[in-house]
Structure 1
Amino acid sequence: MGRATLIGFSAVAMWALLALLTDASGDVPPFLLSAITFAIGTTVGLVARVVAPPAETVKIPPQVWIIGIAGLFGYHFFYFTALRNAPAVEASLIAYLWPLFIVLGSALMPGERLQWHHVAGAALGLAGTFLIVTRGSGLSFDSRYAFGYAMAGVCAFVWSAYSLLSRRFPAVPTSVVTWFCAATSLLSLICHFMLEETVLPATAGEWLAVAGLGLMPVGLAFYAWDIGVKRGNIQVLGAASYAAPLLSTLVLIATGFAEPTPAILLACVLITSGAVLAAKSLLFSRKPAAAKA
C-alpha cells in the first residue's frame, strides 16, 4: 500500500507544474488547451499499451466509463466555468476542498477507517492552501458570484467522487484511463468550438509547454493517481494532496515567477505538518516485536 500511495503522490508532484506550464503555454483558451493536452495524455496511454501490453482483457463495467469520463471532463468543465463566473482566488480555494472531501468521504468506503489524525491533517492542509491562494490577504465573497462559487464547489465534489468511486473498482486496469483522456479531449474540443475563439501556441517554447502539460500534469499524473486511489492509503493521499498548491508556488518562486513571503513559509509548515499528521500511522507505525523462542 505504501508504494501505491507514493505513486499516487507523484501525481500531486506533477500537478505542481500545472501553473508554470499553463502560464508558459501562452494565450491558448482553456478548453482548447484541455483538448490538446488530453490528446497527448491519451498518446501516453497508447504508448504504454504498446510497451507493456495488458496481460489479459478485462471487461469494464458501464459505471466505470461514466465515473471516469465524468470525473476527468466534469472536473475541468466545472473548474473553467467557475473561473469564468467568479474571482479566481475564491473559486480556486473552493475547488481545493476536494482533498478534504476525499478524506471525509473515505469513511463511507468499504474497509476504510477514518481517524482523527486524517481529518486534522486535511484541515491543516486546507489552512495552508488558504494562505497560498489568498497570499495572506483574506477573502472577499460576493453574492454576485454565487453561480461561480457553486460551480467551484461542484468541481471539488466531482473530483473527490471520481477518486473515491474509482477505489471501488480495483480490478479495473489503470490502462482504461487512456480512454477517459480520449473522451475528455473530444468533449473539450466540442466545448472549445462552442464557447471559445481558437488561439494556438505562438512559439516553439509555448508548444513545448503544451507538450509538457500533456506528458505530465495532464498525462502521466492521471495514470499515477488512478493507481494511488485504487491501491494506496486514500486518507493519506487526500491530505497530502494539499501539497500541490504549495509545490506549485515553490516552483514559481524557483523560476522567478513569484516571490517568497512569510505567508508561504507558514503555509509550508501547515501543509507539511498536516501531511505528516495524516500519515502518522504509516510513518511511525510500531513493528511487532519478534516472538521469543
Structure 2
Amino acid sequence: MSPALATAIGSLAILSWGLLALFTAATGAIPPFQLNAMCFAIGGALGLAVMIAQPHRRAALRQSWRVYAFGIGGLFGFHALFFAALKLAPPAEATLINYLWPLLIVLFSGLLPDERLRSHHCIGAVIGFGGVVVLSGGDSGGDLGQHWPGYLCAMGSALFWSGYSVLSRRFTSVPTDAVTGFCIGASLLGIVTHLAFETTIWPEDTVQWAAVLALGLGPVGAAFYAWDIGCKRGDIRLLGVGAYSAPVISTFTLILAGFAQASMTLWVACFLIVAGALVASQDKLRRRPAGAR
C-alpha cells in the first residue's frame, strides 16, 4: 500500500470523528465508562465479523501483552476522558479543547527519529493554546469553576490520542486487524470500570440507541481501523493537519443539532485552534508528502 493511499484511508477516520461529539451528545445521560463498553463492543464486533469471513486474519490477535496494553490503554483512555468531558462541560467547548490533538501530533512527531521541532511548530502551539484560553475566558455557562473538570478531561483526551497516534509508529509491525483485540479489550475494561464506579443508565429512546450504534460503527469502530492504517503507513503529520477539519465539522453539527449555541467566542477559539495547526504544519503544506501522486 502506498503512503498516499494509506493517508487517504486515514483521512476517512477524520471525517468520521467530525461527528463524534454530535453522536456522543445525543446519547444522553449514559455514563462514560458504560458508553465506552457499549461502543467498543460494537467496534470489536466489526472486526470479528471480518475474521469470521476471513479466518486467516485471526492470527493478528496473537500479540504480546505490551501491544495489548498500548492499544487498549490508548483507545480506552482517550474515549473515557472524551466522553467524560462532554458530560461535564459544554459539548462544543470541550470538543474544541480535545481537538488540540492534531496540533500535538505535529509537535510530538518532531520528537521522532529524523524529525525535529522548528520555530513554526512552537508558534503554532502558542496560537492553538490561545484558542483554549479564549474558550475558558468565555465559558458558555458563565462559571469556569463549574466546568473545569470537563475541560481538564478534554485536555487529557487530546494528550492521550496524540501520544497514541505518534507512538503507534513504534508498532508498525502490528497488523491493523489487531485493533479488533484492542476494541474488545477496551470494552471489557469499560464493563469493569463501569460496574466499579458508575450506575447503569440505558438509552431512553430510539434516538439515543441510534446514537450509540452510530458511535460504535463509525467514530468508535471503523474509524480506528482506518486511522491505524494512516498512522502506520501514511504521512502522520499530514494527517495531523487534515484533522483540523474535524473541529470545524464538529462545531457546525453541534450548533445545527441544537447541542451548542453559535457565539463569537466559540468561532474565535475554533479559528485560533485551526490556525495554530496550519502554522505548525506549514512545511507540510508547502510540499507534497512522500509517495503522493
Contact 2:32 2:80 in 1 (8 A): no
Deviation of the 1:49 alpha carbon: 2.9
CA distance in 1, matches of 2:75, 2:116: 27
Deviation of the 1:262 alpha carbon: 3.3
Query: 2:110 is paired with a residue of what secondary structure?
Result: helix
Contact 1:118 1:236 in 2 (8 A): no
Residues 148-197 of structure 1: CA distance to partner in whole angstroms, max 9, x if unpaired?
87766554433332212211121211111111010110111111111111
> What's 1:67 paired with?
70
Contact 1:25 1:210 in 2 (8 A): yes
Deviation of the 1:274 alpha carbon: 4.5
> What's 2:26 paired with?
24
Residues 115-160 of structure 1: CA distance to partner in whole angstroms, max 9, x if unpaired?
44445455544444655x5584599776x99988776655443333
Question: How has the CA–CA distance of structure 1 residues 13 and 123 changed in structure 2, closer, same or farther, with 3 Å as cutoff?
Answer: farther
| Pairs within 5 Å for 1:77-226 | 77-79=80-82, 95-121=98-124, 123-128=126-131, 131=134, 133-134=135-136, 136-137=138-139, 154-226=156-228
Deviation of the 1:235 alpha carbon: 2.3
Query: 2:33 is paired with a residue of what secondary structure?
Result: helix
Deviates most, 211-220 or 119-128: 119-128
Contact 2:128 2:272 in 1 (8 A): yes
Query: 1:69 is paired with a residue of what secondary structure?
Result: helix
Deviates most, 172-181 or 64-73: 64-73
CA distance in 2, matches of 1:126, 1:246: 16
> What's 1:261 paired with?
263
Residues 61-100 of structure 1: CA distance to partner in whole angstroms, max 9, x if unpaired?
442222111111223345567788x866897676554333
Q: Which residue identity does 1:217 align to in structure 2?
A: P
Deviation of the 1:204 alpha carbon: 2.0
Deviates most, 166-175 or 247-256: 247-256
Query: 2:63 is paired with a residue of what secondary structure?
Result: coil
Deviates most, 211-220 or 271-280: 271-280
Contact 2:230 2:236 in 1 (8 A): yes
CA distance in 2, matches of 1:243, 1:127: 18
Question: How has the CA–CA distance of structure 1 residues 112 and 227 changed in structure 2, closer, same or farther, with 3 Å as cutoff?
Answer: farther
Question: How has the CA–CA distance of structure 1 residues 20 and 151 changed in structure 2, closer, same or farther, with 3 Å as cutoff?
Answer: closer
TM-score using structure 1 length = 0.77
Q: Which residue identity does 1:75 align to in structure 2?
A: F
Contact 2:103 2:277 in 1 (8 A): no
TM-score using structure 2 length = 0.77
User: How many percent of aligned residue pairs carry the same amino acid?
Assistant: 46
Residues 39-67 of structure 1: CA distance to partner in whole angstroms, max 9, x if unpaired?
00001112233455657946634422221
CA distance in 2, matches of 1:234, 1:180: 21
Query: 2:160 is paired with a residue of what secondary structure?
Result: helix
Q: Which residue identity does 1:112 align to in structure 2?
A: E
CA RMSD of superposed structures (Å): 3.7
Query: 1:171 is paired with a residue of what secondary structure?
Result: coil
CA distance in 1, matches of 2:152, 2:23: 27
Q: Which runs of 5+ in 1 are unaligned?
A: 288-293
CA distance in 2, matches of 1:286, 1:93: 28
